[in-house]
Structure 1
Amino acid sequence: MSAAEIHAGTSGFSYPEWKGSFYPEKLPQSKFLEYYSESFTTVEINNTFYRFPRSDLLEGWRDRTPDGFTFAVKANQGITHKGRLQDVEDLTRDFVERCKLLDDKLGPILFQLPPYFKRDDEKLADFLDSLDPRLLYAFEFRHVSWFVDDVFQLLSDGGAALCISEGDKLDTPRVATGDFVYTRLRKDEYTDADLTDWHAWMTEQAKQGRDVFAYLKHDEAGESPENTLRLLAGGR
């Protein structure tokens, strides 16, 4: 079994409000990514949900980060919210092809479904069949009807990961369906005990050969980078 790693970062990085708490006060925003990548090996990009990423932007991110750095990319809302995974083959292909400009720094592509999208096995199965099997995909379900064994099996058969999301309203079961694990920690506060528990679970997944991608949500106070470092340190 090949060695697996825990990659933890934050959802986004380009936040001026993090100056003073994470970024140095005088650091220009154009240097945020380079500074961020000195502490973390991955970041989750969320603005791709609202608009297709520009080619030059992706290529710039790729070239400005060190070897081994990865970008998780949230899929465009046209695929997940407007199309609800149906009749979106061309849009999905165009989006994935654009993301491939990140080359070997492209991590998982996250399909975050809307909370009003209830379980539909046929749509999910057809969509999984349409994806390029060479890439990594995670699915974040936000309606409880999806949290059943049949859906988990569909993801497993399709080589996709269940996005294990922890929030103040809905928690995803800790079920590993893919060859990697994708986790989003969305609570407003995390105690040492919380992060110790998550670190222990992620470590066990890595021991079983699954790379782990974990992202803490953006906060105005700039505490998420520190919490991410605490997570990587085992909750301390």
Structure 2
Amino acid sequence: MKLRAGTSGFSYSEWRGAFYPEGMPADAMLGYYSSRLGSVEVNNTFYRMPSPAVLAGWAGATPPEFRFAVKASRRITHLSKLRNVADPVTFLAKTLSGLGAKLGVVLYQLPPVLRRDDALLRDFLALLPSEQRAALEVRHASWLDDAVYSLLRDKNVALVAGDPEEGGPVVPLEPTADFGYLRLRAEDYSDADLGAWHARLAAQPWHEVFAFFKHETKGPEFALRLSALAEGRARPGVAKPKASPARGSGRKRTA
């Protein structure tokens, strides 16, 4: 299994001194990031698509084996809620083709208010280009059903799993594609926590897994430690039980 661990985003000034060297200019961050981690999840595309020149710059700044996971436009998922989106899906696919082989996955993140609709999902999946891999993040528990998994499996679309944001559903590791996609949103991970995730991933039939930690200062460290486990360079710890958070506690949900 090939693990591509990384973080949600890479250009954060507060990472200087923790992950990036002190004084590193912003335009050097992606090159440094990609020398240490194998993938990054780009979230600002949710609001605005980058120009072809920016995409070419990203591709040129990273090594051949590096991969980008790119969040789809909110016009598709949040404003239109998957309805009548043939044109924006086509535009997205054409734009992201500028990344070439470095485009790993397109992430479609559904809004929490969007409930299960099998016909809607089936029509949407039919629009997705077969040459670009896709992952679907559902954020309403009604989607967690075998019939939904079957629809995703028919199109080789990954169901996003992981540690959810506050209030989000706990999505099972359900293999609906030949690759996996995790979003690990907790704010701290012990060696035991990472070891447990590595063991769960190793038990899946996937040949490749994308795993992204939250854009906190420790995010790159967690990604490096999980990568070390996958490569046999570290030994997992023993997980300790965690107390369940009180209802309503925790930070506000973000991307």
- TMscore range, shorter length: over 0.9
Displacement after TM superposition at 1:232 (Å): 1.6
Secondary structure of 1:9's counterpart equals: strand
Q: Which deviates further from its counterpart, 109-118 or 184-193?
A: 184-193
Give the aligned partner of residue 61 of structure 1.
Answer: 58
Aligned-partner SS, 1:93: helix
Is 1:137 paired with 2:134?
yes
1:233 to 228, 233, 238: 228
d(CA) in 1 for partners of 2:146 and 2:186? 26
Q: Which amino acid aligns with 1:25?
A: E
Q: 1:169 Cα shift?
A: 2.9
The equivalent of 1:198 in structure 2 is 197
Larger RCO: 1 or 2 (CA < 8 Å, sep 6+): 1
Contact 2:5 2:210 in 1 (8 A): yes
Whether 1:83 aligns to 2:80 is yes
Distance 2:140 2:207 in 1: 26
Matches of 2:156 and 2:144, distance apart in 1: 17
SS state at 1:56 partner: helix
| More deviation, 195-204/18-27 | 195-204
Q: Shift in Å at residue 9 of structure 1?
A: 0.5
Query: Are residue 147 (structure 1) and residue 144 (structure 2) matched?
Result: yes
**Percentage of pairs with the same residue:** 45
Question: TM-score normalised to the size of structure 1?
Answer: 0.94
Q: Is 1:32 the counterpart of 2:42 in the alignment?
A: no
Deviations 1:24-82, CA, capped at 9 Å, x for gaps: 11211110001001111110000000111211110100011001100000000000000
Deviation at 1:203, TM superposition (A): 2.3
Which residue identity is paired with 2:175? A
TM-score, reference length from structure 2: 0.87
Structure 1: runs of 5 or more not aligned: none
User: CA contact under 8 A between 2:182 and 2:211: conserved in structure 1?
Assistant: yes
Residue correspondences, number: 229
Q: Distance in 2 between the 1:83 and 1:139 partners?
A: 16
Once the 2 structures are TM-superposed, how far is the Cα of residue 209 of structure 1 from its aligned partner? Answer: 4.4
Supply the AA of the counterpart residue of 2:31: E
Secondary structure, aligned partner of 1:233? helix
How big is each residue's C-alpha offset from its partner over 1:95-139, in whole Å with a ceiling of 9 and x where there is no partner? 111011000000110000000000011111011111111110000
Is there any run of 5+ residues in structure 2 with no aligned partner, and where?
Answer: 230-235, 238-255
Checking the alignment, whether the CA contact within 8 Å between 1:199 and 1:232 is kept in structure 2 is: no
